[in-house]
Amino acid sequence: MAKQVHIRVDDTTYEELNEYSTLSGQSMQDYLSVAIRQLLVKKREDVPRKETDYTFIDLFAGIGGMRIAYERAGGHCVYSNEWNRYSQKTYFANFGEYPDDDITKVNAADIPNHDILVAGFPCQPFSIAGVSKKQSLGRATGFEDKTQGTLFFDVCRILKEKRPKAFMLENVKNLCSHDKGRTFKVIQESLEELNYKIFFRILDGKSYVPQHRERIVIVGFDQERYGKNVTFEFNLPLSEKTPVIRDILESDVSDKYTLSDKLWVYLQNYAAKHKAAGNGFGYGIAPLDGVSRTISARYYKDGSEILIAQNGKNPRKLTPRECARLQGFPDSFKIPVSDTQAYKQFGNSVVVPLMSEVAKLVIYNLRKMDKEIALRKRMTI
């Protein structure tokens, strides 16, 4: 719910605001809200950062899971972009800034210089008809031809314009097999064409949170800067304690999260029907001393993929805070939106501690390679 703040302005300021509002078609309230947000962002930018920090940009930022990961690894965010207004609200509540809202309309040259591009870009179909035709005619194709019309194209054009030292991309596991592997082939070729050495691995978050969640992570380093012999290994440390569902549960949960009799009967009948047909579709009761299924953006509908058993009552859905914990967000993370929006946001987010470990490896690699370059320069002087 929006809060109201009353302010007093002199007559001259009021007339200027009224004139601007008329010309721009924007209400005074909206204009002042934007101005206050910009002031808060400027205030945040004035905070000095350590010289040792690596800068990064946060594209398709969602609610900032990747941002938390890179800040934990010693990074400093200089730009963010996310089009969903509810996610923007959550992002602002936690980081004090509103992301830009449409990456396709952003001039890449206007994005601040940065060391690392970070993006959890959506997976979209790539049209290869035009590319195949050009290749059959012996004509060269570039990532503009291969990826135009997809949001991955915006990642490529920013990489081309700003040439960061490295990037880290995250997507669903099925990206590798999407369109019989052609989608991932286009992604690989496009990134390599931009002269980045890429490494990728499908990683499961269950070592860090009590959830089976596989995602592909693609890491790339600038070969124009570091040469062709760049190496990188996904050597991730395991958690000291294996996380289980019991660890994330709240002690006092409202009855509103308990499934209604109608919904519970429907889910049981649905599962029985599919079991009889020989497939495994149906609800999932999460084992308290094990890991859950993968939470998705559809969790808000019925919570069927991850239900918690209750004594003498129907099962219940996870609360938004429990969903946040399931993805590894700290309890200090603010949830300023409705339950429905929160479920969508956490279902679309990343396993924060897993991404934090990858971020540490990326920055470690950069520090090592930058030190080697600096040492070679000193030796040639």
Burial code (b: 16+ CB inside 10 Å, e: under 16) for 212-229 equals ebebbbbbbbbbebbeee
Question: Of these residues, 123, 156, 176, 323, which one is catalytic?
Answer: 123
DSSP 8-state secondary structure symbol assigned to residue 175? G
Rg (the chain; Cα; Å) = 24
Q: SS in 3 state form for 205-267?
A: HHHCCCECCEEEEEEEEEHHHHCCCCCCCCCCCCCCCCCCHHHHCCCCCCHHHECCHHHHHHH
DSSP per residue, 1-70 = ----------HHHHHHHHHHHHHHT--HHHHHHHHHHHHHHHHHHTS---TTPEEEEEES-TTSHHHHHH
What are the residues whose beta carbons fall under 8 Å from the beta carbon of 92, sequence distance 6 or more?
37, 98
CB 217 within 8 A of CB 170: yes
What are the residues whose beta carbons fall under 8 Å from the beta carbon of 151, sequence distance 6 or more?
60, 103, 104, 121, 122, 124
Instruction: Give φ, ψ of 172 to 5 degrees.
Output: -70, 155
Residue 123 a catalytic site member: yes
Q: Give the CA dihedral 37, 42, 43, 48, nearest 10 degrees.
A: 150
Angle at 61 between CA 56 and CA 67, to 5 degrees: 45
Sign of CA dihedral 139, 141, 144, 149: positive
Which run of H or of E encompasses 272? helix 261-276
Q: How many CB atoms lie within 10 A of CB 162?
A: 17
Burial code (b: 16+ CB inside 10 Å, e: under 16) for 90-107 equals bbbebbebbbbeebeebe
Q: Give the residue numbers annotated as catalytic, written as ranges.
A: 123
